[in-house]
Structure 1
Amino acid sequence: MTQLNNKPKALKPFHSGDIKILLLEGVNKTGIDILTKAGFQVEAHAKALPKDVLLEKIKDVHAVGIRSKTQLTAEVLAAAKKLRVIGCFCIGTNQVDLEYAANHGIAVFNSPFSNSRSVAELVIAEIVALARQLGDRSNEIHQGIWNKVSKNCYEIRGKKLGIVGYGHIGSQLSVLADAMGMQVFFYDVIQAMPLGTAKAVESLPQLLSTCDFVTLHVPETPETKNMIGAHELSLMQKGSYLINASRGTVVDIPALAAALKSGHLAGAAVDVYPSEPFANGPGFLTELQGCPNTILTPHIGGSTEEAQSAIGVEVGTAVSRYICTGATLGAVNFPEVDLRMPTSDSKSVRIINCHQNVPGVLKQINKILSNYNIEKQICDSRGTVGYFLADISVENEQEIEAVNNAIASIPENLFTRSLW
């Protein structure tokens, strides 16, 4: 009896060794290893490149991996004639012109959740440090001042923690704080299921006015810009604490400094700023410097070995999978499309097409493919971009080239490529 071979076929580009990948800003070794083992040419740099060097380097690469310092603007992306995918080895994608990338057939992937635990643990540490004024006591000891006090120093057990934004970080923080005996409340514009004993509140003002500690975990959007200003700070209880480990634009820094200096707030911890340096070194200034019981850190919420390793795996895998299968799951600017793998005994070739999302394109593509056996296909769109995958049976490379050229000749085509 003949058994069917259901083992998935390992797809790959026709010449995977010709795929060039540029990795910048010290991408973790886990990401480098994944891309190298896939057979790609990988060039890795420990730091961001000067703009003129980046413009030259990016001309020839098919994929680029960055963290938060490299700015992939429309000008830079216009120089990248072969670029098909960008891997942001971090949470944010603000450093990439996502619209330009999408409209030119460049998919962008990031790692929105891999550092959630690291950020949550940092916030817990900051809550304890603020409650005990550890930053001020440490600075005094470094200056040779012995100042043993208990006034205005507290246990966090029984205190009320307000979490603004109950996503992956906020919910993990909720569990940790609950385990330490805090009363947890949260506010989110999206309905979320409370974990442990956490309770949702109906409005931001309600949360601000009732909690001892308020911590922010929201994205950078027009709606969240300066969402915590002078008015919101005035709603907070006298002697309460504010923590921001989300985005620098969320808090009005001068207003926060005034609330700390006046004594309305008992302390704050800030890890993100409206404007941050592109390189380590002296010279950074903020109005929060010198404020009492204020912990200032240089955007290190996700800067742990564990988080960076996980980010390397997640983004490296997404980039490799996109190149080798066409799957766009997790892309931030593309339709999210996947197609089950053909079996190992299949002679099919996968056609991948990205096009302008206008009426009539699919009709033209399917007319070209109608001369072949189509094993399976899928298409989806997002905004101005349409994305199409199809596995077809062909006899030889000449036929594959003919299909590619025919689809590429469609005026709305952004790119067409094949995997076998």
Structure 2
Amino acid sequence: MNKQLTSYPKEKIHILLLENISQTAVSVFKNNGYSNVEIISGALSEDELIKAVKDVHLLGIRSKTQVTEKVLEAAKKLQAIGCFCIGVNQVNLQAATRLGITVFNAPYSNTRSVAELVIGAAIMLIRRIPDKNKAAHEGVWMKESKGSYELRGKTLGIIGYGNIGSQLSILAEALGMKVIFYDIETKMPLGNASAVKSLQELVATADVISLHVPETAATKNLINKELLREFKKGSILINYARGQVVDLDALAESLRAGDISGAAIDVYPVEPKKNGDKFVTPIQNLPNVLLTPHIGGSTEEAQQNIGEDVSNKLFEFLEKGITNGSHTVPPLALPPQEGTHRILHIHKNVPGVLSAINTQLSVHGINIIAQYLKTNDEIGYVVLDVDKKLSGHATELLKEVKETIKVRLLY
């Protein structure tokens, strides 16, 4: 039983991929017989997406498409969402959980791309290359060493020691930097990196500060006017994390005053929806500043890795009911059982549902060959393998169980 078949004809399963998702993802589905793959190059507005998802079973997005509660409510056939990026903050996870929609992402796939670009930006800024580049383009020769330094021997301060932060730590040490980091959770240091006890200690010590934190209420304007006053004189700030993390007006003020010597910013509180749109930020036209259009993870390798990772998770869920890596439906993987049909049951996490499922089936003489249950605070996810001859009847019976959200006969 190496190749599973869904109970629904593959050509009728509608897959919608937005925002120039890698062709690798398209290939995963088409190579496995899913021909109904729709591709849209850009992001969609809420109203456009509500119309587009009406008959969609799988939705693939990147960072600009906002999947709101209204969108999810309109997507009556939607089984899963694949976020082809490292974050999932563009999806209303509470609503997706309540509706039993599985949400996947690729938390590791662009780690190297971001870490390399941070190192590149740090070298450019500590050598004041943006200023020299601008002067050369304007016909001015600026051959001087004043204010230019090597990274070797300098201290890198990493705020957020997760997947990208720890990878950056390794690269920085290889260049001869000392690495310190701050994280709200206890993290095992890699190499010779060491944790510090506070943000204030980190920014007062580090020559280069790099941000790698998620966008939450706690991280909004984490780098603000007050904290910028604590920065080591002449230090450099790099933000390749999330746009809301830095108060850009305060950063601009600090740059103009010469309190910090440079900055590299890749993410912004408000970003254009598509290429060519007008872009405005308070830190434009300031000395020794690198501005990039949210391309930290935009390499051919990263997009291919993300395409493979997320599409394989979607495919495994579609064909086997595997939810490992999900942010909404509890993670579960039941090995295939010979001679059975598989049913997926998603329900509200209240006492007695599993008992009701088993009672409903046993009363009607339906034997459960294998069964796995996993719950989170909101919902429970049950994968059942039952006798082939009785699977259709079992599916209908399970729909009648109180607190049921979704039932799907997988194969």
Structure 2 length as normaliser, TM-score?
0.96
In structure 1, which of residues 400, 408, 413 is the aligned counterpart of residue 391 of structure 2?
400
In structure 2, which of residues 388, 392, 400 is the aligned counterpart of residue 409 of structure 1?
400
State the Cα distance separating 1:332 from its structure 2 match: 1.1
Q: How does 1:32-51 map to 2 (within 5 A)?
A: 32-40=26-34, 41-51=36-46
Note the residue ranges of structure 2 that are not aligned, 5 or more in a row.
none
Q: Given residue 361 of structure 1, which amino acid in structure 2 is its aligned partner?
A: V
Q: Given residue 398 of structure 2, which amino acid in structure 1 is its aligned partner?
A: I
What is the CA–CA distance in structure 2 between the aligned matches of 1:123 and 1:297, rounded to whole Å?
Answer: 12
State the Cα distance separating 1:178 from its structure 2 match: 0.4
Q: Given residue 270 of structure 1, which amino acid in structure 2 is its aligned partner?
A: I
In structure 1, which of residues 345, 353, 358 is the aligned counterpart of residue 350 of structure 2?
358
Conserved 8 A contact 1:108-1:331? yes
Q: Secondary structure at the match of 1:75?
A: helix
Match of 2:213 in 1: 218
What is the CA–CA distance in structure 2 between the aligned matches of 1:327 and 1:199, rounded to whole Å?
Answer: 38
**Aligned pair 1:272/2:272, yes or no?**
no
Supply the RMSD in Å over aligned alpha carbons.
1.4
- 1:240-266 Cα offsets, whole Å, 9 max, x none, are 111111011111111111110000001
What is the CA–CA distance in structure 1 between the aligned matches of 2:395 and 2:409, rounded to whole Å?
Answer: 7
Match of 1:13 in 2: 6
Match of 1:419 in 2: 410
What is the number of residues matched between the two proteins?
407
- 1:368-393 Cα offsets, whole Å, 9 max, x none, are 23223322211111222111101122
Match of 2:359 in 1: 367
State the Cα distance separating 1:53 from its structure 2 match: 4.0
Match of 1:247 in 2: 242
What is the CA–CA distance in structure 2 between the aligned matches of 1:297 and 1:338, rounded to whole Å?
Answer: 40
Identity of matched residues, %: 48
In structure 2, which of residues 318, 341, 344 is the aligned counterpart of residue 349 of structure 1?
341
Q: How does 1:131-146 map to 2 (within 5 A)?
A: 131-146=126-141
**Aligned pair 1:328/2:323, yes or no?**
yes
Q: Given residue 171 of structure 2, which amino acid in structure 1 is its aligned partner?
A: L
In structure 1, which of residues 145, 149, 153 is the aligned counterpart of residue 148 of structure 2?
153
Conserved 8 A contact 1:11-1:419? no
What is the CA–CA distance in structure 2 between the aligned matches of 1:169 and 1:302, rounded to whole Å?
Answer: 11
Match of 1:127 in 2: 122
Choose 368-377 or 76-85, whichever is displaced more: 368-377
Conserved 8 A contact 1:208-1:237? yes
- 1:139-196 Cα offsets, whole Å, 9 max, x none, are 1111112122211100111001111111110111111110111111111122222112
Q: Alpha carbons of 1:282 and 1:23: their partners in 2 closer, same or farther (altered >3 Å)? A: closer
Q: Secondary structure at the match of 1:60?
A: coil
In structure 1, which of residues 370, 373, 377 is the aligned counterpart of residue 371 of structure 2?
377
Q: Secondary structure at the match of 1:350?
A: strand
Conserved 8 A contact 2:345-2:382? yes
Conserved 8 A contact 1:208-1:235? yes
Conserved 8 A contact 2:25-2:307? yes
**Aligned pair 1:25/2:19, yes or no?**
yes
**Aligned pair 1:297/2:292, yes or no?**
yes
State the Cα distance separating 1:223 from its structure 2 match: 1.2
In structure 1, which of residues 300, 305, 308 is the aligned counterpart of residue 303 of structure 2?
308
Q: Secondary structure at the match of 1:149?
A: coil
Conserved 8 A contact 2:10-2:33? yes
What is the CA–CA distance in structure 2 between the aligned matches of 1:297 and 1:230, rounded to whole Å?
Answer: 23
What is the CA–CA distance in structure 2 between the aligned matches of 1:51 and 1:99, rounded to whole Å?
Answer: 17
Conserved 8 A contact 1:12-1:323? no
Choose 47-56 or 248-257, whichever is displaced more: 47-56
